[in-house]
Amino acid sequence: MSLPFRVMGIVNVTPDSFSDGGLFMDARAAIAHARELVAEGADIVDVGGESTRPGAEPVSAAEELRRVLPAVAGLAGDLTSARATPAGAMDARPRISIDTSKAQVARAALDAGASIVNDVSALRGDPDMAGVVADSGCECCLMHMLGEPRTMQRAGRPQYKDVVDDVRAFLEERLAFAVREGVREERIMLDPGIGFGKTVAHNLELLRRLAELTELGRPIVIGTSRKSFLGRIAAEGAGLAEPPDARHRLAGTIATNVLALERGAEVFRVHDVRPLREALAVAAATLGGQWTPSPTGTTAAS
């Protein structure tokens, strides 16, 4: 069954990411984890070497390269044959994304085998990034963020006149900028940046009105996986004094991603690939209004 979404599995090669920092710093551990994500159904593996959690400090290009290049290079050969492609079908092999805002890192990762640049700065962090993306012809993701990771949740509550209108205007401007710089429009994805300089109310409003962003005509990427606003909502709903930690936010992650699919999102960046892919597949079959099993699939009625 052809599914109307792609799942992007997260591989953080960082010591300080909010959910799994330090677990995959070793290239062998990162590659092993990526293999697990592919086995669970990841269409894209997103490798990042600089944390973008609130309050995170930047790292140098040299340090970021030291972290990510061994993993990207190792994955490139490994993933090309990780998933069989049936005769006559479109290439279903997983792809590697590099999560960076630095042109030097993006260029090296693309040379090593990545084919997507996931830039949380939307080509603002490095004046050379647009040229790297345009020259390579790769796919890219442009994300909205208020400020930068170190400051995006500081100095009081983030302020917007209308969060959806403001995010839409930003993404529309960055899309136009990228195209002017030579990036092919059909290669661009857009991410509203859930949790990046937004309150809980902002995040929920963006999810509720996500269809307004799909009107921009580009695939929308959603990244709610394990984020703190899910823990805050869950704690309030259960009457808990403290939110559950990041590893116990799967239910909220599934709920937000299924709702986002219904509102038109197409790419889902997650830590827990298998349960998210299963939930999205069921939601897609329900929303599509028909079920056509594959020749090798299960045909039981219940």
- Tens-binned pLDDT, residue by residue, of the chain (302 aa): 578 999 999 999 987 544 544 455 678 888 889 999 999 999 999 999 998 877 677 889 999 999 999 999 999 987 655 444 444 344 467 999 999 999 999 999 999 999 999 999 999 999 999 999 999 999 999 999 987 765 655 555 789 999 999 999 999 999 999 999 999 999 999 999 999 999 999 999 999 999 999 999 999 999 999 999 999 999 999 999 999 988 899 999 999 999 999 999 999 999 999 999 999 999 999 998 766 776 665 555 55
Q: Where is 30: in which H helix or E strand?
A: helix 27-39
What is d(CA 46, CA 17) in angstroms, rounded to the nearest whole number? 14
What is d(CA 263, CA 214) in angstroms, rounded to the nearest whole number? 8
Residues in Cβ contact with 115 at an 8 Å cutoff, skipping those fewer than 6 apart: 95, 96, 97, 138, 139
Active-site positions? 227, 269
Cα dist from 136 to 52, 133, 205, whole Å = 25, 5, 35
What is the pTM (predicted TM-score) of this model?
A: 0.90
Burial class (CB within 10 angstroms; exposed 0-12, middle 13-18, buried 19+) of 153: buried
Backbone angles phi, psi at 299, to 5 degrees: -120, 10
Say how many domains are in the chain. Answer: 1
| Strand ordering across the sheet containing 95-99 | 188-191, 139-143, 116-119, 95-99, 44-48, 6-12, 267-270, 221-222
Return the CA Rg of the chain: 19
What is d(CA 92, CA 42) in angstroms, rounded to the nearest whole number? 10
**Does 62 map to a domain?**
yes
**Does 302 map to a domain?**
no
**Does 257 map to a domain?**
yes
- Residues spanned by the domain of 143: 6-83+92-288
Closest CA to 132 of 146, 147, 115: 115
**Does 300 map to a domain?**
no
Q: What is the pLDDT of residue 113?
A: 96
Q: What is the pLDDT of residue 123?
A: 98
**Does 26 map to a domain?**
yes
CATH number, domain containing residue 264: 3.20.20.20
3-state secondary structure of 48: strand
Q: What is the pLDDT of residue 30?
A: 87
**Does 293 map to a domain?**
no
Q: Tell me how far the alpha carbon of residue 43 is from its chain's centroid.
A: 11
DSSP label of 62: H
Q: What is the pLDDT of residue 88?
A: 39
Q: What is the pLDDT of residue 157?
A: 76
**Does 77 map to a domain?**
yes
**Does 203 map to a domain?**
yes
Tokens of 281: 């597949």
Q: What is the pLDDT of residue 290?
A: 64
Cα dist from 258 to 41, 262, 290, whole Å = 17, 6, 17
Cα dist from 132 to 84, 175, 182, 184, whole Å = 31, 16, 10, 12
Q: What is the pLDDT of residue 84?
A: 42
What is d(CA 4, CA 209) in angstroms, rounded to the nearest whole number? 20
